[in-house]
Amino acid sequence: MSQEGFKMAYNYFNVDTVRRQLHSRSISFNNFKEITEEDIKRIKKKIESLKTFSVPKYSYVSKESDNYASTLRYLTNPRISTEYKTFDEKILHLILATDPDFITFKTFLASNITPTEDINDEQDEKRRRQLQDQRRLEIETFENEVRKQIGFYDGNLVKYERILTMTLFKTEGFISDVKTSSINPLLKRAELVKNINVITELNLKRLKLVAERWATMAKDPQDLNSLAYNLLNKYKDMHIHTIEEQIILFILIADPELDLLRIFEEESTYQKVQERAQEEKGFYNKGLINVERLYHDKFEPEKVISAWTK
């Protein structure tokens, strides 16, 4: 092979080069605004049909997974460039084929990487350098954790996956104007929760993100009956995996200040607790009070619930 031919082959199979080639078109990214549910189904079907498509194993490809490498190679192949008309479709394909559970974005949420704004705002030069070194270490740790979980790292996916999670909720949607009483059936599940050990900081950040989506995308964010219905019937679409997550998400949306726990601390009998809870919050459940206490003790121990708990 001539030197020029070898260079062309190297560039074609080198993942870093092909990755740059794909992301160089990011200027045309349209925030998945034109992506429909049919587009998602079409791309998922295409991914299934490409399961046997693989990239040759050359020693100089890179340390990225074969699945990621072959997907990049497919999406940057000029012979199939007419299949996807937009950059958004190609990025959607890349995510659904290589990181369908949004591990890159979820890990980023849990990483607490020092913001560049904090570094830029630091006036002390020595402290600024320390923050820069700290940020580099945090990014390296984040990258290693992502590689450990999915076999590759592409920092560009953080932004795209964040926007895509919002888009998926727009296409799948929340069910509103629910007539069936759903709050009590949901809250009965709170009585089954004895601990929240399965709720990690990463889980909590994901749940808070879902709570934000509910606040901005639900037809009536204050409609707790519709919220309960969605938690019971569309939990998969909401990326809810356990009863504990269902109840914690309900708390984050319906009672973020832990008012139910406050009422419990301030009253002397369950009857008075129930009366005040129904009047002030519109719902009551002993099990929910217990979960709020578990949540408080694990994630917000500094929060003062009432004068009785100071």
Model confidence at 114, in pLDDT bands (50, 70, 90)? confident
Domain limit, last residue, from 150, 169, 188: 169
Q: Domain count for the chain, please give it.
A: 2
215-232 pLDDT tens trace: 877 778 788 888 888 888
Same domain, 194 and 305: yes
Q: Domain of 43?
A: 3-169
140-156 pLDDT tens trace: 999 999 999 999 999 99
72-91 pLDDT tens trace: 888 888 776 567 889 999 99
Domain limit, last residue, from 169, 191, 214: 169
Same domain, 154 and 49: yes
Model confidence at 171, in pLDDT bands (50, 70, 90)? very low
Same domain, 116 and 195: no
| DSSP character string of the chain | --HHHHHHHHHHH-HHHHHHHHHTTGGG--TTTT--HHHHHHHHHHHHHTTT------TTS-SS-HHHHHHHHHHT-GGGTTT--SHHHHHHHHHHHH-TT-HHHHHHHHH-PPPHHHHHH---HHHHHHHHHHHHHHHHHHHHHHHHHHS---TTHHHHHHHHHHHHHHHH----S--S--HHHHHHHHTT-S--TT--HHHHHHHHHHHHHHHHHSS-TT-HHHHHHHHHHSTTTTT--SHHHHHHHHHHHH-TT-HHHHHHHH-SSHHHHHHHHHHHTS---HHHHHHHHHHHHHH-TT----GGG-
Same domain, 155 and 261: no
